[in-house]
Amino acid sequence: MAATGYDLLMNSDYADLNPALGTLYAEHIGIVAARHDHALEQAGASHAVIYSGNPKNAFLDDYQMPFKPNPHFVNWVPLTRLPFSYIVYTPGKTPILIYYQPHDYWHVVPGAPDGYWTSTFDIRIVHSVDDIARHLPADREKCIVIGEIDDDALSFGIERVNPTTAVNILHYARGAKTQYEIEIMRLASRRGASGHVAAETAFRNGRSEFDIHRAYCEAVSHTDQELPYGNIVALNEHGAVLHYTDLDRQPPAESRSFLIDAGAQVHGYASDITRTHSNGDVRFQALIERMETMQLDIVNQVSAGIDYRDLHVGTHKMLASVLVDAELAAGDPDTLLETGVTSAFFPHGLGHLLGIQVHDVGGFMENESGTTIDPPSGHPFLRMTRILEEDMVLTIEPGLYAIDMLLENLRGTPAESHVNWNTVDWLRPFGGIRIEDNIRVLASDRENLTRDAFAQL
């Protein structure tokens, strides 16, 4: 057992798949350190103190909500269950990891640090929060803190918390992943793909949403708290609820369709995969296959230098053709876009950056100064507006849904006459379709982490 406790134990089978992680990690830390050198210089500071975070209690209760670490901390070290810990980085010096290991008989505490990452740090084990201060730089006025500080005592007299100049630089830079991060995300994709296979099997066996969810969690070896986000496990018309997480305990009388949006994580990095399945309806299966063809056509446009906004708008034009082919709508693509027909069937964005956070930071940033790029007019929910750069990892996830509220909003507008309401009635019991892959951007190509992961199972 890896002595760091849950983190490496939970990920050991997947980390073992690439014995070169240690070498890749050393290169990764060099890049992370260089980013912090630049951020500190621009912020006029000498030391970065990165706080892992702390658990939070539910209101009026002593129940601790699931701990979510500061992604800046995870960017340095693959530990996602280490609250009250700090990294102290000073350019040109070995980074210090203040490793909080309380004396506690109520909970499992972190074991002795162990793993490929330990040689990177000067590790200082502390057993109480009061012990932390003596390991921090004495010149607090030359420090910045990066992390969520909800108690002033946890900043230990450092007044500059999350300075915008430094944070913008770090967030913008995180858009491009290191080779270590990409390899970890390949492993997360393989983990997620194994869960999707198990979930589809459970669906084919007529299981309930709740039981399908449990089959997924067992396959990826995650508890609900360890999942990168709450699984969307939707049978039939529930597939039209974009973030459906209610999980019926009993199977429906008839399982017509199944939409699952579920990911997995390795060392804090996520995969985010969506698949849609038909249970024998030939017409709905044909529509899934048509959407998959469209999705792969979009994926094949991904490469460095492409404006993601153009991909999103282009997806709407492609979807217009799908709607016409499926007899859900009539009209030319421009008209279906301008009247809002495509947005009613596909109301969310094409995708987002992916990494430590499922919706990774920096998706709107034009530069490291923090200037943002607005989404295209009429498309407010697009989470990614940047020009694609080499080694970005992002999602491509077009959808097509029968969402009553949005379709009814077309009544009484010029769009109404372009919708085939009889075909909408046919689609409604199936909910909708979404297909999502995780894509690494290359200079003039792309790597489909998701499709590669399924192929390796």
With beta carbons less than 8 A apart as the criterion, state whether 100 and 82 touch: yes
CA dihedral sign of residues 33, 34, 39, 45: positive
pLDDT of residue 7: 56
Q: Which residues lie below 8 Å from residue 298, measured CB to CB, with a gap of 6+?
A: 311, 314, 315, 318, 350, 396, 398
Whole-prediction pTM: 0.95
- The fold adopted by the segment(s) 6-173 is Creatine Amidinohydrolase; Chain A, domain 1 (3.40.350)
Q: Quote the Cα angle for 77-189-221, to 5°.
A: 75
Give the number of residues written for the chain. 457
Cα-based distances in Å from 240 to 243, 244, 450 = 9, 8, 23
- β-pair type (446-448, 437-441): antiparallel
pLDDT of residue 4: 47
Residue 303 per-residue DSSP state: -
Q: Quote the Cα angle for 279-280-282, to 5°.
A: 125
- Residue 258, H or E segment: strand 257-262
CA–CA separation, 354 and 377 (whole Å): 24
Nearest-CA neighbor of 98 among 108, 85, 111, 109? Answer: 85
CA dihedral sign of residues 411, 412, 415, 416: positive
CA dihedral sign of residues 231, 390, 364, 349: negative
Query: What are the structure tokens assigned to 415, written together?
Result: 């769009």
Q: Which residues lie below 8 Å from residue 424, measured CB to CB, with a gap of 6+?
A: 328, 402, 407
pLDDT of residue 20: 86
Give the domain ranges of the chain: 6-173, 179-456
Q: What is the mean pLDDT, run by run of 10 residues, along the chain of 457 residues?
A: 45 67 95 98 98 95 93 97 97 98 91 93 97 97 97 97 98 98 97 98 98 98 96 98 97 98 97 98 98 98 98 98 98 97 98 97 96 95 97 98 98 98 98 98 98 97
CA–CA separation, 34 and 27 (whole Å): 11
Report which residue type is found at 136.
L
Nearest-CA neighbor of 232 among 263, 275, 261, 202? Answer: 261
- The fold adopted by the segment(s) 179-456 is Creatine Amidinohydrolase (3.90.230)
- Residue 172, H or E segment: helix 164-173
CA–CA separation, 68 and 404 (whole Å): 35
pLDDT of residue 10: 53
- Residue 122, H or E segment: strand 122-126
3-state secondary structure of 279: coil
Query: What are the structure tokens assigned to 85, written together?
Result: 């810990």
3-state secondary structure of 125: strand
pLDDT of residue 132: 98
With beta carbons less than 8 A apart as the criterion, state whether 82 and 115 touch: no
With beta carbons less than 8 A apart as the criterion, state whether 95 and 49 touch: no
